[in-house]
Amino acid sequence: MRREADHIWDTYRRYHRETGEMVVWYELQPFGDTAATDSLYDDVYDEGLSATGGLRYQTGIVLPVVQIQETEDTKRAQADGRYVVQTAIGVASVKDMRDAGISDVTEYRTHLNDMFFYDGRFYSVTGYRSRGRVRDELIIGFEGIERYMDQEFAFDPGPTRITANDYAWPATLPA
């Protein structure tokens, strides 16, 4: 079984080198009592109080994924407040998550409030499943729903933004 798992991961590594799909994973800073370092929220509004805390996330970790797919919302935005939101479903390796520094990767409860960044959008983790039989050769399936950071995190620090490098297109493409 170990030999088969090694073969699967060799193939996965080759696939990842060629496609390079990845997400930036943000773990929720656990709830505590200190506004400067822990997540705090108002139990009535499910928001942090302005300048006193809110949901805090650890520094983002770049995480290679086996596969990720986005699904467009099938409904339209409405003037009364309905927003178009995307969902994303992805698969990552437990070994990659551990190597990246994500804590307790096989336990789903600790990751249901995490977030990930993919294709210019932030997603809240809504589903988290570990699958497999050989230790450290498991895969994690995760699902997320898009979050509007400027509106849903008005009083929360939220995850740190990713800086983008907008490089110019090359004059000619490789043959």
pTM higher than the cut 0.75: yes
- CB neighbour list of residue 96: distance below 8 Å, 6 or more residues apart: 63, 64
Convert the pLDDT of each residue in 72-125 to its tens digit.
Answer: 887 777 777 677 789 999 999 888 888 888 988 888 888 888 999 998 899 999
Q: Is residue 87 part of a domain?
A: yes
What integer is the mean pLDDT of 129-138?
74
* Number of domains making up the chain: 1
- Map residue 56 onto helix, strand or coil: strand
Residue-wise pLDDT for 20-61, tens only, equals: 788 999 998 876 556 556 665 555 555 555 556 677 788 888
- For residue 41, count CB atoms less than 10 angstroms from its CB and return exposed for 0-12, middle for 13-18, buried for 19 or more: middle
State the CATH number of the domain containing residue 42: 2.40.10
Q: Is residue 165 part of a domain?
A: no
| Domain residue limits at 127 | 20-152
